[in-house]
Amino acid sequence: MKKIYTITDPSRQWDDFWSDRAVEAEVDACDRRNIAGIFLDHLPMNEPVLEAGCGLGAWVIYLSERGFDVAGIDSNEGVISRLTKMKPGLKVRTGDIRDLPFEDGAFGAYISLGVMEHFETGCDAAMAEARRVLKPGGLLFFTVPMENVFRKVLAHPLRDLYLRWRRSKGAAIHFAEYRYTPGEVKELLRGNGFEPIFTDWDDFVPRAMSLGIWADFPQLHSPVPYRLNRFGRAGALALNAFSRWTASGGIFCLARKK
């Protein structure tokens, strides 16, 4: 796995990340994600579901509107406050996913979308809690950022050069996240009591979009959330035509609690 660093102070990373995002735009983006169909096909309709690290609650809203019994929890009090004011009936609360306020076996499915990789000490504590609150045989819907070909060849070397330059100018460098290969994800899950069922890429379905390019190159953003400018779109079309795995932002794995 690849350890990624940033110049953004950890105390501000998530406030900065969510501050310029609208709940409506986040919900609208769900339909264009590859994992939307996986949720609709595999989430249990008649059992409670937890999204741990729900952020602005886009998936909690999206799945609740489609009849699923979904609750969300996030450590960021600001985003939960925004959600409860906007949708008072939404089942969201503040909390630490490494110390969940739920009983053993309370959920039939657990969703973790790009969350556990942000703990520098690793995923084990959050994984243990996910396993605890899942019923026997419960499902884990899990994504983490991918260490893909595009990142290995271009994005990561450029990031490393940029951070070296910023460090030479006196900037402090902070941990941001880990990025994984598909094999590392399966090994991580098996080591924490889950059996992988299948793995897929995690990104937007339209080939002119790329969460991988969007995440690593803010210079290629368009004014529309998650959209790329013409140079970014050209790059996304070329890379996605070759393979959806080449520049995919993340890896998805559906796993079952052993």
Radius of gyration (C-alpha) of the chain in whole angstroms: 18
Which pLDDT band holds residue 110 (cuts at 50, 70, 90)?
A: very high
User: 13-22, 81-90, 180-189, 216-225: lowest mean pLDDT where?
Assistant: 13-22
Over residues 74-95, the mean pLDDT reads 93
How many other CB atoms are there within 10 angstroms of residue 53's CB atom?
18
Q: What does the DSSP 8-state code read for residue 71?
A: E
Whole-model pTM? 0.95
3-state secondary structure of 86: helix
Is residue 63 within a helix (H) or strand (E), and if so which, with residue range? helix 58-64
Q: What angle do CA 201, 7, 148 make, to 5 degrees?
A: 20
Over residues 47-72, the mean pLDDT reads 97
**pLDDT reported for residue 8:** 85
Whether the per-residue pLDDT at 71 is higher than 80: the answer is yes
In this prediction, what percent of the chain has a pLDDT beyond 70? 99
**pLDDT reported for residue 194:** 98
Which pLDDT band holds residue 217 (cuts at 50, 70, 90)?
A: very high
Whether the per-residue pLDDT at 16 is higher than 90: the answer is no
In this prediction, what percent of the chain has a pLDDT beyond 90? 91
Yes or no: say if 47 and 53 are a contact pair by the CB < 8 Å rule.
no
**pLDDT reported for residue 156:** 97
User: 10-14, 68-72, 129-133: lowest mean pLDDT where?
Assistant: 10-14
Contacts of 222 (CB under 8 A, 6+ apart): 228, 229, 232
**Pairwise pLDDT comparison (44 vs 21), residue with the higher score:** 44
**pLDDT reported for residue 172:** 93
Whether the per-residue pLDDT at 155 is higher than 80: the answer is yes
Over residues 134-161, the mean pLDDT reads 97
Over residues 63-91, the mean pLDDT reads 94
**pLDDT reported for residue 235:** 97
In CATH terms, the fold of domain 2-147+172-206+248-257 is: Rossmann fold (3.40.50)
